[in-house]
Structure 1
C-alpha cells in the first residue's frame, strides 16, 4: 500500500507534473472532503505563465481497486473518450504508473464550479434541467469504438441474480429488500439497445456554475447498458436531497428532463422501463449500504464512514416501499398502521450507556469539531452522526430483520395483497428510518401519507 504523507505526495506529484506539463511549482495541495477509499487532491501548478488548477484522483494501492470492474487506466481512457465526444467530462492530462510511487490514478484539469447538492438545489441555474438531459444524451452517444474494451456490459438478469445472492450472504432477513428483489424478478424487462451508461449520473457528481452544468464527474461505475438506467438513477429519492416535489434530480419535472434528452438526440423514454430502473437502482443502493457494514467487519475499510453508510439501508427500504406499495390492493393501502413497539424505560441513577454516548458526542461537537477543517472536519461530523444513531438505537425498540417473512416473500408465499403485510412493513420502515436517518426528507413525507 502506498501510504503517503502530504509532504511526500507533494514531492512525487511535482515530479510527475514536471514530466507531463513541464517545469513548474506545485502549491495549494489539499485533500477534498469525502472519499474514504478513493482520494481526490486539489492543487495548482504554475509553469511560469499563471497557475492552473488540477485534481489528482488516486487510490493508495491496487488493493483498493479490488472488486472494481476496471482499472484507473481504463477509467481515464473512458473520461478522455467522453471529453473528446463533447461531453463536459474533465480533461485528463496524465495517468499514474508504478514508477510514479503514488498508487493508481490519474490527473485532470480542475473544473471550477459548485458540486454541493444543497447549494445547487437551493437556487439551480434556469438551464440546469435541460443541461442534464442534453449531457446525458451526449454520454449515450459516445461512439462504441472509443469506449475501452474493459468497460463491461450489464446483463440485467445476471445482475439481479447477483444482488439476490449478496442479499442472502448478508443474512437475507430484510423483508422490504426481499419484496424489491421479487418484484424485479417478476418484472424484468427485455434487453435494450446498449449505450454507454455513466452509472452514477446524479447530484453530487455534477458541477454547476452560473451558466448551468459545468462538468460531469466520477466515471468509475460506467458500463454498457440500457439508457433508462442513467435516466432513472439521478431521479432516485436519495439523490434528490430533500427536493421531493421535483422528481427530476431535485431540479424540476420529468417531462422537461425527458424532452431535453430527446431534443439532444436521446431515444424516447419508456415509462415502465423508467419505473423498473428506479426500483432496481434503489435496491442496488440498499444492498450497497449493507455492503458497507460487511466491508467494515472484514477489515477492508475500517473507517467510521462505512458503518454510518451501512445504517442508511433504512432510507432505501422506505423508498422501496413507497415505490412498490401501489402493487397492494386499495384496502391494504388504506389500512391503519399498527403501533410502534414500546420504548425502553428512561434511565435514572448512574449514567446510562446512551447518556455516556451523548456526552462523547457533545464533546466532539463543542470541543473537537470547531478546531478542525477539510477532511478532518468531515470525519468528526461522521463520528458524531454514528454516535447519534447509537443514542437513538438505545432509546428505541426497533428491528428491521424478519427471516421467516423474508423467506416467504422471496418464494411468493407472502405478498402485499395479504392482510396487514403492507401496514406492518410501513411501521417497520418508519421506525427504523427514524433511528438511522431521522432527517431523511422522505421520512416526513411517508409519515404524512401513512400516518404516524
Structure 2
C-alpha cells in the first residue's frame, strides 16, 4: 500500500489540473478485491480516488482506467446513477493509474443494505438501473470495451482452468455442461459485469449509486441479470435469490417493468452457471497473484480458498442434470477425523491460540487494518480446520484424472456414485475453508448430511 503522504502529493497534482483545492482527510476504504479506493475531501467536497495497487495488475485488465472513466461518464450522462468523474491520474502524478470521482451518499455494506425496511423498493431500484445500463447506446461505448463471443468466453474459462492445474472435478463438470448447453448469440448490450450487492450504494433504503465499472463489456443482458443472483452475492439472505432482496420472478418482473427486454429463464440459468464457474476460477487465481509477488496481501490467499463456496454452488446448480437415482443416492461417509491428541500443541491449536489473541486487540485497530485483522483470523480458522480434518482441503480437492474424464465426457453425472462423491468432496472442503457460508447449511439439509462439523 502506498504511503498516504506520497498519495496526497500525487492527488494534489491531479486535482490542481482541474482547478480543485489540495486534498485532506485521506482514508482507505475497506474491501475491494482488485482495486483500492480512498475517501478524501477537496475544499468542502467529498471525493473518492480509485486506483490500482500495482501497474502489473492493470496489465491483466481488458482496458485501463482511462477507458473505465469514459464508461462511467457515459453511464452518468445516460441517466444511470453513476458517480461524476472529476479528474484522471497522469503518469507525472506518481501514484499509478486511476481516477477521482465525486463521492455519493450511502453504504455499500451488504448486511446493512439487507437490513433495509423496504427490500421490494430497493429491488425495483436495482432493476431500473440495470435496465438503463442495458439501454445505453453501444455505439458510444469507448473503443477499448471488449465484445467476447459466447464460444470465446467459454474458451477463456478453459484457459483459466488449464492455468489453475486442470484438476478440480466440479469446475471441470461445469465447463463440460457449459459446452453442451451454449446458447445462440443475441444482440449484445452494454453490461456492467459486476452488478451486485457490494457494488451498489444505498442511502436511506434507496439506491444512490452504481459503482465498480472495471468489468464492463458487450454481451447477453442475461449475464448481468444472472450475476446479481449468484449465491455468494446474496450474503446472509440465501432465501432471497435476487440480490438477497427478493425472488427470481420479482427481479425479472421489475427488470421488464423498467423497460428491460423479456427475460429468458433458460439463459439466466446458463449465465448463472457460467459466472459461478468464472468466479471459482477467479478465486483460484488470487493465489497466483500472491505467489508471483504482484500483490502479497493476506486477502489474496484467503480469497483463493473461497473457491470452495463456488464449487458447492456449481454442484447445486448442476445436480438437476443427473438421473433421479443419482440425485437420490445417499452421501458416502465423511473422512475419518483424527482422535484428540495430548502432549505439545497441534497446528490447529496454535492457529486457534493466535486467532484468540488477535481478537483481544481488534478494538484497538481501525480502518483497513481492522478489516485485515478479520481476514487474518479467517485465515487462521482455515489452518485450524484443515489441520483438524487431517489434510489441506485445497490439495484434497485436486483430482486431475477425474477432471479430465469429466471434460472429455468419459464420466458424467450419470456415472454411478459420482454425484454423491462430489457432494461429499464439496461439503468437506467448504466446512474447512468457509464454514459460515450460508449455502453450506442448505446443501447439508438437501443432501441429508447429518455429520456434526464444528466451526472456527
TM-score (norm 1): 0.95
Q: 1:345 aligns with which of 339, 343, 352?
A: 339
Residue 252 of structure 2: SS of its match in structure 1?
Answer: helix
Are 1:77 and 2:74 an aligned pair? no
- Contact preservation (8 Å) 1:28, 1:43: yes
- Contact preservation (8 Å) 2:231, 2:238: yes
Structure 1, unaligned stretches of length 5 or more?
A: none
Q: Determine the structure 1 residue equivalent to 2:453.
A: none
Q: 1:221 aligns with which of 204, 215, 218?
A: 215
Per-residue CA distance 1:97-155 (angstroms, 9 max, x = gap):
11222211101000110110011012253411111111101001111232101000022
Q: Determine the structure 1 residue equivalent to 2:367.
A: 374
Per-residue CA distance 1:223-275 (angstroms, 9 max, x = gap):
00000010000100000102121111110122222122112221111111000
- Contact preservation (8 Å) 1:124, 1:251: no
Q: Determine the structure 2 residue equivalent to 1:5.
A: 3
Residue 63 of structure 2: SS of its match in structure 1?
Answer: coil
Q: Determine the structure 2 residue equivalent to 1:428.
A: 425
- Contact preservation (8 Å) 2:329, 2:417: yes
Are 1:183 and 2:177 an aligned pair? yes
Q: 1:449 aligns with which of 430, 446, 450?
A: 446
Written as runs of structure 1 = structure 2, the 5 A alignment for 1:337-416 is 337-367=331-361, 369-397=362-390, 398=393, 399-416=396-413
- Give, in whole Å, the separation in 2 of the partners of 1:9 and 1:277: 40
Greater displacement, 204-213 / 36-45? 36-45
Q: 1:147 aligns with which of 141, 148, 152?
A: 141
Q: 2:436 aligns with which of 436, 439, 443?
A: 439
> Aligned-pair RMSD on alpha carbons?
1.4
State the 1:60 CA deviation. Answer: 4.6
- Contact preservation (8 Å) 2:56, 2:294: no
Greater displacement, 85-94 / 401-410? 401-410
- Give, in whole Å, the separation in 2 of the partners of 1:255 and 1:218: 26
Are 1:89 and 2:86 an aligned pair? no
- Give, in whole Å, the separation in 1 of the partners of 2:96 and 2:205: 36
- Give, in whole Å, the separation in 2 of the partners of 1:167 and 1:413: 18
Written as runs of structure 1 = structure 2, the 5 A alignment for 1:159-308 is 159-210=153-204, 212-308=206-302
Greater displacement, 227-236 / 394-403? 394-403
Greater displacement, 394-403 / 331-340? 394-403
Structure 2, unaligned stretches of length 5 or more?
A: 450-456
State the 1:34 CA deviation. Answer: 2.1
- Contact preservation (8 Å) 1:246, 1:253: yes
Distance 1:282 1:36, change over 3 A: closer
State the 1:13 CA deviation. Answer: 1.7
- Give, in whole Å, the separation in 2 of the partners of 1:36 and 1:249: 19
Q: 1:120 aligns with which of 105, 113, 122?
A: 113
- Contact preservation (8 Å) 2:14, 2:90: no
Per-residue CA distance 1:396-425 (angstroms, 9 max, x = gap):
045212222111111111111121111111
TM-score (norm 2): 0.94
State the 1:20 CA deviation. Answer: 1.3
- Give, in whole Å, the separation in 2 of the partners of 1:449 and 1:113: 37
- Contact preservation (8 Å) 2:125, 2:207: yes
Residue 24 of structure 2: SS of its match in structure 1?
Answer: strand
Per-residue CA distance 1:254-309 (angstroms, 9 max, x = gap):
22221221122211111110000000000000000111112222222211111111
- Contact preservation (8 Å) 2:15, 2:22: no
- Give, in whole Å, the separation in 1 of the partners of 2:356 and 2:165: 34
Distance 1:102 1:167, change over 3 A: same
Q: How many residue pairs align between the two structures?
A: 444
- Contact preservation (8 Å) 2:185, 2:220: yes
- Contact preservation (8 Å) 2:116, 2:205: no
- Contact preservation (8 Å) 2:226, 2:272: yes
